[in-house]
Amino acid sequence: MKAELFVHAGSLDVVPVVRRLIAENIDPDLPVEVYSIDTGRIADNLKVGTRYSQLLQAAIPPELGLSLGVNWLTWLGERIYLQVYWPVVTVASHTYDPTVVPFFPHTFSSFFPALAIRDRMVMVPKGEGQMLGSVNGVLRIATALRDEILQVDYQDQVEVRAALRTVARGLSDQLQQELRSWAMFQPPGTLDLQAAASDLDVNVHLFRRILTGQVDAITAPYQRLSCQVDRTRLPFGRWTRVILTVTNESGGPLTGVSVRISGPVEVLPSRLEVDVPVGTAEMQLSLKPIDEGEFPIEITLVQADDAPFSDWLPPFNLWLESGAAPPQDP
């Protein structure tokens, strides 16, 4: 994961400021790659402009049907244009018509500086939406910029800091969702952050900081749960039906709660799941002690979305006693 900062010769002064604010508000270890664009270097500028348009394209919702590209119109000297292809729907056909928007050098301040993170544009200068939206047929880009990308005054550090904090919150939500999705394909209760960070191309320290801040929110509902069983003395080596009662005082129902029991007992059914309303829920299961004596069993309750974080959830310890079965009546 990296940040990409696009500047021109007149905005180089923002580079150290943006680097510092990214370190303070997103990740001190996030690499920042700087692209500087200027007159007199058509080939380099065209390459930078192409990357800029790709990142801008990535931030525009696909349902808008817009396609961006960059081209150098040789008969206009050094001028490079942003080409916008937008769908034109008629009764008989669905075609794409291009609209050409001056990109640079005469519109430097409308497009630069700009910041992208994780291959998606996140911050552009104020006025870019108006610049694109003023062209016939490109009003939907202005809408996308307003809704999907922050427009900021890069000379106002307070505004840039606030925008980066907004970006950080969105990035945190995105990474949490990606981590949950990644963990769905891993063994339950084995959240390997190093492996996840490698697969998702994210700094593992950033993952840890994000998740540390979310632990309380994830575990809070489980702190208000409790468990009990109707029998605590079980015959050794024999299956015995037990009623497990889960009490929920969290203030909201929990659906699809997986029940995991560990200890010197065998459990049937092997997969236990229950919906827990506010109040209590009961489920029947069968336990067979494999040791004699007094021992605790550990019960973990976890919803599917929280399965990657099951190691952080509070377990419930219930003490059981196991001994020889009483003699049967003749």
Domain range for 64: 3-167
- The span from the CA of 83 to the CA of 73, in Å, is 11
**Is 43 part of a structural domain of the chain?**
yes
Higher pLDDT, 330 or 26: 26
Pair 23, 149 in one domain: yes
Token pair for 14: 């923002």
Residue 137 is predicted with a pLDDT of: 43
pLDDT over 50 at 17, yes or no: yes
pLDDT of residue 139: 46
Q: Report which of residues 60 and 226 the model is more confident about.
A: 226
Residue 218, domain member (yes or no): no
In a domain, 217, yes or no: no
- Over range 41-53, report the average pLDDT: 80
Answer yes or no: is 196 within a domain: no
Count up the domains in the chain and report the number.
2
- Could you tell me which of 81, 61, 53, 63 has the C-alpha nearest to residue 146? 61
Residue 84 has pLDDT above 70, yes or no: no
Domain boundary, last residue among 151, 167, 183:
167
End position of a domain, from candidates 147, 167, 187: 167
Last residue of a domain, one of 167, 198, 231: 167
d(CA 167, CA 118): 11
Q: Is the pLDDT of residue 76 over 70?
A: no
125 and 266 assigned to the same domain:
no
DSSP character for 306? G
Weakest-pLDDT range from 121-125, 140-144, 217-221: 140-144
CATH number for the domain that contains residue 259: 2.60.40.10
The per-residue pLDDT for 231 is: 93
Q: Is the pLDDT assigned to residue 178 strictly greater than 90?
A: no
* Contact assessment for residue 258 and residue 302, using Cβ atoms and an 8 Å cutoff: yes
pLDDT of residue 143: 57
For the chain, the average pLDDT equals 80
Sign of CA dihedral 73, 144, 9, 171: negative
**Same domain for 266 and 156?**
no
Q: Residue 4 gets which letter from DSSP?
A: E
Alpha-carbon span 234 to 289, nearest angstrom: 7
- Write down the pLDDT at residue 269: 92
pLDDT: which is higher, 63 or 47: 47
Closest by CA position to 30, among listed 12, 18, 46: 18
252 touches 295 (CB < 8 A) = no
Number of residues that make up the chain: 330
Chain CA centroid to CA 24, Å = 20
DSSP secondary structure letter of residue 224:
T
**Do the bridges between strand 240-248 and strand 225-229 make them parallel or antiparallel, or are there none, so unpaired?**
antiparallel
- The per-residue pLDDT for 242 is 96
Q: What is the mean pLDDT of residues 108-134?
A: 77
